[in-house]
Amino acid sequence: MEFNATLKSKRGGILTFDAESDIKLPPYYKNAVDGLYRANITILDPRGITSDQRGYIYGLLNDISEYTGYPLEVVKDFMKGEFCTNVKTEWETFSLGYNQISIYDAGQFIEYIIEWCFQNEVPFRHQQYFVGSEHTRMLFLYLKYRKCFISGDKGDVAHFEPVGMGRNRKKIDHSKHRFMCLRRDYHIEQHTIGLEAFCEKYKIIPIKLTPQQVKEFGIGKEILDEQYIYKKEY
């Protein structure tokens, strides 16, 4: 069951919410042993869309416009309609104006457009608009669709921490490692200047995956070993 509530206080790991309507729990909920029933909580940021987010959105829409040949306004209306149809089903339309859409919903819209671009092979020409350390959620999409974290081109999945030569990759617990997806030349540059300098230069963060994401993303089937790439190129 789902319900809306307002966060009233936080004390340690205990959150107190004020429900917006009377919650009628089934009898078996009331008699539950502590810890038996769990909940997923999403905290909605009440702030409005930021100027950075607007830049990301219009950068992406311009990419689609340039690739398809359709005018920007047509692309914008189309993507807003797709978002309402597939994500915000309770919406008919929405505005990208300041204070017209929340920072949370704008973030969802950005993620939706990026995934749509990946699914439809739309190349990114305004990459700098939407890849940055503060947008790690989007990097999951880059990894899922095997797109370079930096260029947006087709890339290879690689462990951030070397796993060592000769190890059986089928027995490696990939959920304990961090990953990046990089085009081959960027991968070589990473070895040349070092991991920390590389991540700082391009403002990227290697990401960890849950066991479920490792399976969903097909991690382990084509991962390139850091040492293998380095030796092969040099």
Q: Are residues 168 and 111 in the same domain?
A: no
Burial class of residue 94, CB neighbours in 10 A (0-12, 13-18, 19+): middle
Q: Are residues 148 and 99 in the same domain?
A: no
Q: Are residues 165 and 98 in the same domain?
A: no
30 lies in a domain?
no
3-state secondary structure string, the chain? CCCCEEEEEEECCEEEEEECCCCCCCHHHHCCCCCCCCCCCCCCCCCECCHHHHHHHHHHHHHHHHHHCCCHHHHHHHHHHHHHHHCCCCCCCCCCCCCCCEHHHHHHHHHHHHHHHHHCCCCCCCHHHCCCCCCHHHHHHHHHCCECCCCCCECEEEECCCCCCCCCHHHCCHHHCEEEEECHHHHHHHHHHCHHHHHHHHCCCCEECCHHHHHHCCCCCCCECHHHHHHHHC
Q: Are residues 56 and 119 in the same domain?
A: yes
23-40: pLDDT as tens digits: 776 666 666 656 666 676
24 lies in a domain?
no
Q: Are residues 105 and 152 in the same domain?
A: no
Judged by average pLDDT, the poorest of 48-52, 117-121, 186-190, 210-214 is 210-214
76 lies in a domain?
yes
pLDDT reported for residue 229: 40
Residue 66: band (very low, low, confident or very high) from pLDDT cuts 50, 70, 90:
very high
Residue 204: band (very low, low, confident or very high) from pLDDT cuts 50, 70, 90:
confident
Backbone angles phi, psi at 96, to 5 degrees: -95, 10
134 lies in a domain?
no
60 lies in a domain?
yes
Q: Are residues 193 and 221 in the same domain?
A: yes
8 lies in a domain?
no
Q: Are residues 125 and 154 in the same domain?
A: no
**Nearest alpha-carbon partner for 133 in 186, 199, 43:** 199
Q: Are residues 167 and 124 in the same domain?
A: no
Q: Are residues 64 and 99 in the same domain?
A: yes
Single residue among 74, 96, 129 that ends a domain in this structure: 129
Question: Using CA atoms, how far apart are residues 149 and 186, in angstroms rounded to an integer?
Answer: 10
**Identity of the residue numbered 8:** K
Residue 35's CB is within 10 A of a number of other CB atoms, namely 6
Single residue among 82, 110, 129 that ends a domain in this structure: 129
**pTM for this entry:** 0.59
37 lies in a domain?
no
31 lies in a domain?
no
pLDDT at 108 over 80: yes
Q: Which domain holds residue 179?
A: 139-233
191-204 per-residue burial string, b: 16 or more CB within 10 A, e: under 16: eeeeeeebbeebeb
Single residue among 94, 129, 164 that ends a domain in this structure: 129
Give the whole-number percent of the chain exceeding pLDDT 90. Answer: 22
Position with higher pLDDT, 199 vs 43? 199
Total count of domains within the chain: 2
36-53: pLDDT as tens digits: 666 767 666 668 899 888
Q: Are residues 82 and 158 in the same domain?
A: no
